[in-house]
Amino acid sequence: MFEVGQLYENNIGTYKVLAIHNNKMDVQYSDGHKQSLTIATQTRIYQNRALTQSMEQKYITKSPKSKRGISYSYSDYWTLGFLLARLTYLQYKVQYDQRDKARDDYFDATGEELDTVETGVFYYPKGTNQWGNQGVITFRASESELHLLKFNSKPSPTNSPNVCVVSDIRYLHFMLENGFQLGKHPDEVAVASKIPTAYQTTFNKGVEYGLHS
């Protein structure tokens, strides 16, 4: 469906196809930066965007959302600041038959290909009995601090003192959108630069609490 010289769009922006090589294509975005993309992933994203736009035209009412179409609250951004201060570690656990979904979701959140990530990704072998993909977030916190954090799932203490873990794929994608990386301690400058102006004060309060509590 992609043709050299034509313009297309994903969640990162509008891009022009420069060349096609088997299952990959070289593209250039409107801001000038170039990237090599997997055609299968971009095809699914293109089709999903077309379906979403069709649904939005049918149901006009909208609320402020992230680029993945999910609404986030002040509590989400306070938690994000807290986790930035606590040297959080992220891991993506991918179910065998949901690898394509993981690739699409990761690209939507980061603009990068999941297959190029070297750390922080675990692929379950075929036949493993797991329900869906998992986003595992490990961070430093006392048990008394856990009630302050906004997750879909309940965090649990680990065997290590003041180290907790939670499995929350929604929040993992949110963190990736905002500059966190799989398998690495977060880059404070990169994360801070992603925070929308309306949430910066709340985010900074979360950082301050995480650093000094």
Tens digit of each residue's pLDDT (9 = 90 or more) over 98-155: 999 999 999 999 999 998 888 999 999 988 877 789 999 999 999 889 989 999 888 9
Q: What is the DSSP letter of 140?
A: E
Residue at token pair 């986003």? 135
Q: What is the DSSP letter of 159?
A: S
| Two structure tokens written together for 86 | 């606590």
Tell whether the model's pLDDT for residue 48 goes beyond 80: no
Query: Could you tell me which residues come within 8 angstroms of residue 28 by beta carbon, excluding any fewer than 6 positions away?
Result: 15, 16, 18, 34, 35
Residue 213 pLDDT class (50, 70, 90 cuts):
confident
Predicted pLDDT at 28 = 93
Domain boundaries, the chain: 7-58, 74-212
CATH of domain 74-212: 3.10.28
pLDDT, tens digit, 9 for 90 and up, residues 158-196: 999 999 999 999 999 999 999 999 999 889 999 999 999
Q: What is the dihedral of CA 169, 173, 175, 178, to 10 degrees?
A: -170
For 24-85, give the DSSP string: EEEEEETTS-EEEEEHHHHHHHHHHHHHHHHHHHHS-------TTS----HHHHHHHHHHHH
Query: Could you tell me which residues come within 8 angstroms of residue 94 by beta carbon, excluding any fewer than 6 positions away?
Result: 102, 121, 122, 123, 124, 133
Cβ contact 110:177 at 8 Å: yes
pLDDT, tens digit, 9 for 90 and up, residues 63-91: 445 555 567 889 999 999 999 999 889 99
pLDDT, tens digit, 9 for 90 and up, residues 14-37: 899 999 998 999 999 988 889 999
